[in-house]
Structure 1
Amino acid sequence: MRTFVYERPRELDAAAFADYLDPRSTAVISIDLHRGHLDESPDCPCPAPRARELVAPVDAFHTQARDIGVRIVHVRSVLRADGSDDLGGIPSAWRRTFPLHVGEIPNHAEHALEGSRWTEWLTQVEPGDLTVSNKRRLSAFYPTDLDFLLRNQRIDTLVFNGGFADCCVLNSAFEAANLNYRVIVLRDLVRGTDDHLEAAAFSMVSLHLGLVMESAELLAVWKQGNPT
């Protein structure tokens, strides 16, 4: 089984990680693949252009994961329309710090507002999928009911895709590990701010949080059956 440790490929004995590889107790957590990040309009309030290429491969991976019986959980940022979760109170830190690197984000005040088109999913959400739509900050767990939902479904392994590798995915992976979930991050289905931060995020996950794999490898292991 091929994984990546500190961004170097490593062959591991799948049996040594059998508890990470049981699709029956696994959920895919797909983070923030919605219009507010992926729209090509200049009005996009928090553009993540590197993640636009993920839509088709994420949809393809989800289709195969569903066929195996793995549950899909789509998580998105949604803020109250009156701004009381963010600009109408204590603003999210990224609104002040991220522009120091990327420059002004012209429409950032519209990001993730409830009822706006910016919260529309751009990946396929099927009727049997689960959704979490009250992510207010960087972690998929805060202040959402994701942990409750997963434990109620007897899920103990989480497979992350989406964006950003160095922001919401990394925050969610750390929190998942702290909550004692087994963590897998799919390096081919996650994008970061840039190549450097993407590699740094994958390296941190591989050293401290769980496994970094490519989606085809994980699907192949699932299809082979849970090793014992």
Structure 2
Amino acid sequence: MQAYVYGSKRELPEGFEDYVSRKNTAVISIDMHEGHLADTPDCPCPTPRARDIVEPLNKFHRAARALGVPIIHIRSVLRKGGVDDINGIPSAWRRTFPLYVGDIPNADEHAIEGTRWTNFVTEVAEGDLIVETKKRLSAFYPTDLDFLLRNMRIETVIFDGGFTDCCVLNSSFDASNHNYRVVVLRDLVRGTNDEMEDAALKIVSLHLGLVMDSADLLAAWRT
């Protein structure tokens, strides 16, 4: 079984078999909706690098479903009027991220309920589950994801989606702190840039769980 340890792919010693068991495992796909992925000037929080993984991610999800592994889609949704964010206590990223990327047109519309920006771009199949009360960076806050996972008897979570250095990393920390085994799929997440993505994956590999390629995980599931 191979995984990335501080950026280098290597064969793991015995003792990690539970990370790649299909039993008590779920795939968690983070924020693959139009608010990040729309290829239009009014996209409120663009993640252009993540557009490249839409079809590979769909393909992986189809394979996981065929093996009986459940898919949980995470969707950020903020109440109309902005009380959850811009007209309440604004998320930190709204002030800090533009210092690096510049002004973000239409950012106030990000994740507002009832808008096109909450529409999933990736496939959502019958039988998939949706968690849609994410309002900050972690898929666990302030959502019912942990409640759902406990009721499903899930012990291992497989993360894909975006941002690697933001929501994926935050969700991985929370999952580990909740005592789930964590796997992040290196080829099916995308970050702010290569440097930030690499740093986030290195952090995961040292402190939170395994960083793997999706093909290697599928091969392990099929063995």
Residue 4 (str. 1) matches residue 4 (str. 2): yes
3-state secondary structure, aligned to 1:24:
coil
TM-score of the aligned structures, taking structure 1 as reference length = 0.97
Matches within 5 A, 1:123-142: 123-142=122-141
Unaligned runs of 5+ in 2: none
3-state secondary structure, aligned to 1:23:
coil
Residue 17 (str. 1) matches residue 16 (str. 2): yes
Shift of 1:116: 0.3
Instruction: Report if aligned partners of 1:134, 1:144 keep a CA contact under 8 Å in 2.
Output: yes
TM-score of the aligned structures, taking structure 2 as reference length = 0.99
Structure-2 residue corresponding to 1:193: 192
Matches within 5 A, 1:45-124: 45-124=44-123
3-state secondary structure, aligned to 2:15:
helix
Q: Which amino acid counterpart does residue 5 of structure 1 have in structure 2?
A: V
Q: Distance in 2 between matches of 1:17 and 1:68?
A: 20
Q: Which amino acid counterpart does residue 10 of structure 2 have in structure 1?
A: R
RMSD: 0.6
Identity of aligned residues (%): 65
Shift of 1:203: 0.3
Q: Which amino acid counterpart does residue 152 of structure 1 have in structure 2?
A: N
Instruction: Report if aligned partners of 1:24, 1:69 keep a CA contact under 8 Å in 2.
Output: no
3-state secondary structure, aligned to 2:58:
helix
Matches within 5 A, 1:33-52: 33-52=32-51
Shift of 1:76: 1.0
Shift of 1:24: 2.0
Q: Which amino acid counterpart does residue 33 of structure 1 have in structure 2?
A: M
4+ aligned runs moved over 3 Å, structure 1:
none
Instruction: Report if aligned partners of 1:74, 1:132 keep a CA contact under 8 Å in 2.
Output: yes
Q: Distance in 2 between matches of 1:51 and 1:22?
A: 27
Unaligned runs of 5+ in 1: none
Aligned residues: 223
Residue 205 (str. 1) matches residue 199 (str. 2): no
Structure-2 residue corresponding to 1:222: 221
Instruction: Report if aligned partners of 1:78, 1:133 keep a CA contact under 8 Å in 2.
Output: yes
